[in-house]
Structure 1
């Protein structure tokens, strides 16, 4: 449910940004782990969104906008998702509450990375293109897999059914358009070794390696 608007400050000479995105079930999280294993700093928008929705002020606004989704001071994420993804207008309303807070947290983390000497920072954002955040990236890496493969992956790891997954997928830019706009695409239809090999090739092409990045 996280996204960012296209108003991050411009990338400077001291740090470059690699955008990481992909449709639901594509394997983006796996690629993020592989990037971290290489010593790259990965800023996870979903993780920051979870932290944001633990803040009392955010919870109060969510309860006001989506009554019944906060119980005992804790967010019922399934209930919120059911309401938000059923209606584009409600999804936009959710974004208006959470996105500015997520964006602020990402900016702070990037600034800390710059201070620590990072040369590249990975922005892991599910809705990178939808929010226009790709405009602030120096390169964009898209992870992709066939729709049926993605559906089966999500069903096996979550309580979502096929219809729920299709609804969420429909709220994102079509995979073909993401591929067309990407700097590079990882085809996640093989095994982990194949994915890792593709990633190594892409990072070499982009000149990204642990020796020129921070963690």
Structure 2
């Protein structure tokens, strides 16, 4: 099975790009959605996160904003959180792979916001980065309810710079030109990955 890693900084159109892969019939694993389930009532992460960050639990679930505040600007706290969450997400992903394989999928997309930051790029056959000009990114994000320039800058500080992601990617989907051009780019990526003669070398992302 061909594994495609999809990533992109906040506001770059990654979720829209993931939806386009789904529309094309490629199963997509949404890491954010998996974490949301783990953080919800009864989720496997609630207990261990509560032990590590007691103030982050509200009504039996993880309060994502409180947790964000607890790890923001604190690399050690973020490392502690990742050590809890990543193994749980990994187990969930195994189930996704089994289901996709049983349904006859020849490729899947792993939608992972921090793909490079967590080293996940080393485990996929190709990396796709959703990207747009920096000003468009800021305009998109600052239009979200409750978002401020300071909060956006803090989020970006935890993410690999877009220029670095684009440099290390096998494919870049430019989301600044509208939905149809982006959809065409996604279709071409799928076609290339299914063609052994055109498929890029996997080790590009391990630099």
Scaled by the length of structure 2, the TM-score of the pair is 0.87
Larger RCO: 1 or 2 (CA < 8 Å, sep 6+): 1
Q: Distance in 2 between matches of 1:152 and 1:178?
A: 20
Deviation at 1:60, TM superposition (A): 2.2
1:207 to 172, 178, 194: 194
Runs of 4+ in 1 over 3 A off after TM superposition: none
Q: CA RMSD in A?
A: 1.6
Moved more, 152-161 or 180-189: 152-161
2:30 to 32, 37, 44: 44
Normalising by structure 1, report the TM-score.
Answer: 0.84
Task: Give how far 1:86 is off.
Answer: 2.6
Give the corresponding residue for 2:14: 28
Match of 1:176 in 2: 163
Aligned pair count?
194
Q: Which residue of 1 aligns with 2:90?
A: 103
Q: 1:127 aligns with which of 114, 137, 142?
A: 114
Q: How does 1:1-215 map to 2 (within 5 A)?
A: 15-54=1-40, 55-207=42-194
Gaps of 5+ in 2: 196-207
What is the match of residue 211 of structure 1?
none
1:132: how far off? 1.4
